[in-house]
A and B are shown apart, each in its own frame.
Chain A
Amino acid sequence: EAGVTQFPSHSVIEKGQTVTLRCDPISGHDNLYWYRRVMGKEIKFLLHFVKESKQDESGMPNNRFLAERTGGTYSTLKVQPAELEDSGVYFCASSQEHGRSAEYFGPGTRLTVL
């Protein structure tokens, strides 16, 4: 069974540009999560989808971040316009049952904003 995949693995952009990150969850997992880890700090929750619906987006830092999951399969996270403080590793995870099963993580996208 394929795990969670993320694309790209690395992205280097300039301040003010737009970047879109993609996550493909484990097949059959309705729950999809986005997390971010800024250098030297702990992983922080961004948002949670159940199928195509945003269940909890309380962790999204501001309106420059837009997450979508059209069709309830893969998800995208767009940052527009990117700022220096957006640099970090963006992880995606998926699970079968929210709150009852483990979350399985992708390898992350390392975003560097110059």
Chain B
Amino acid sequence: GQNIDQPTEMTATEGAIVQINCTYQTSGFNGLFWYQQHAGEAPTFLSYNVLDGLEEKGRFSSFLSRSKGYSYLLLKELQMKDSASYLCAVRDSNYQLIWGAGTKLIIKP
């Protein structure tokens, strides 16, 4: 079966750095996405990795290792507004998005 694993919840301090991990086992791989979702709102696209390595976009970076079936989302200089759920999703061989359950990130002052 297809499986995406990520921690259920993480806590970090304002101004700090946090890394959210995602491991996946899917039938095929056509890219990995990270989305941010505030409660009651739409998932918002953050990043896309299809090749191994690090993609940096401002305070957010995403890393991919296809051989290990592993990705992480790195958030720097955390702000209170970064409190949200972070969803990892993989596009499989049928180009369907397979989703993790999301990581709830709590930022404390």
- Residues in chain A within 8 A of chain B (CB atoms): 3-4, 33, 35, 41-45, 48, 56, 58-59, 91, 98-99, 102-108
Contact = CB atoms under 8 A, between A and B. Distances in A.
B99 A43 contact: yes
Interface size class of B (residues with CB under 8 A): 20 to 34
Contacts of B43: 43, 91, 105
Nearest to A44: B99
A42 B45 contact: no
6 closest A-B pairs by CB: A43-B99, A105-B42, A99-B95, A102-B45, A42-B99, A42-B101
Given A4-B42, A91-B42, A105-B43, A99 B91 contact: yes
Interface in B5-48: 30-31, 33, 35, 40-45, 48
A103 B41 contact: no
A98 B106 CA distance: 33
Chain A residues touching B, majority SS = loop
Interface string B67-106: 0000000000000000000010101001111111110000
A41 B30 contact: no
Nearest to A3: B42
Nearest to B96: A45
Nearest to A98: B95
A42 B102 contact: yes
B41 A107 contact: yes
Nearest to B92: A45
A23 B100 CA distance: 24
B30 A99 contact: yes
Contacts of A59: 96
B107 interface: no
Given A56-B96, A99-B95, 9 more contacts: A43-B99, A56-B94, A58-B96, A98-B95, A99-B91, A102-B48, A103-B45, A105-B44, A105-B45
